[in-house]
Amino acid sequence: MKCTIKKTFLLIFLVFLVSSFGESKSVRVTLDGIYLAVADDDYKALYGKQKYFPEGKLSIRLKGNIFLWGSFGYLPSNFKWKEWSNKSVPLADLDGKSVNNKSVMSLGLGYYVGYIAPGQFSVKVELGGCRVTDTITETKTFQQSSQMLSEVKTKRSGLGFRASLGVTYGFYKSFYTEASLGYLFATDKVDDTRIKLGGLRAAWGIGISF
């Protein structure tokens, strides 16, 4: 988790660094609520087909209607089950839990048509790269004593791309709301099996420009 936080601050620093070469320094900070329709069947079977999570995004206009953007989202999910410690036990005596902390870091360019101002609409398209990481911790504990029997940690991570089409509306001074629809694609190969880490992505949020 500490490494992820460091990467997030590094991403924000790089965005501001690159923006210093632009003629205009229009900055927008957006907090989105994300709906993700997960593409991987195994993930859906354990943690659910549809997931919601927060995402923060920083956008900086470089020149004209072209802007640079970077974002970070974090999605925790869990799955619980019961099982037997050995065949001689008549009833299930172990509690199993799998926790998957999914993080999504993205960086790319965008282009918008319209005005980001009160009472005005703009349409934008965003394209970029992403890294999606699933950090999975699986534990088994005895029901009566809560003593941990085992703990296994695995990580799945892959580079990919993200594309979205959105609409922004300015509603009060420097505040705006935006909605977008797109796709998040990244994979990792585990034991000769290709794991899909992304899926269909929809977002709605509010932000401020300055």
Distances, alpha carbon 40 to alpha carbons 37, 45, 52, 194, 201, in Å: 9, 9, 16, 9, 14
CATH number of the domain where residue 166 is located = 2.40.160.20
What tens digit of pLDDT does each residue of 20-41 get? 444 445 899 999 999 999 899 9
Q: Per the domain annotation, does 200 fall within a domain?
A: yes
| Residue 37 region by backbone torsions, left for phi larger than 0, else alpha for psi between -120 and 50, else beta | beta
Structure confidence at residue 21 (pLDDT): 45
Give a yes or no: residue 126 inside a domain: yes
Residue 181: domain span: 2-15+27-209
d(CA 32, CA 203): 6
CB atoms within 10 A of CB 153: 10
Rounded to whole angstroms, how far apart are CA atoms 173 and 118? 6
DSSP single-letter state for residue 85: S
Query: What are the φ and ψ backbone dihedral angles of 118, each rounded to 5 degrees?
Result: -55, 130
Q: Is residue 21 part of a domain?
A: no
Q: 3-class SS at 143?
A: coil
- Is residue 91 in some structural domain? yes
Q: Please state the domain count of the chain.
A: 1
Which residues of the chain, if any, have pLDDT below 50?
A: 2, 18-24
User: Tell me: the pLDDT tens digits for 121-147?
Assistant: 999 999 999 999 999 999 999 998 989
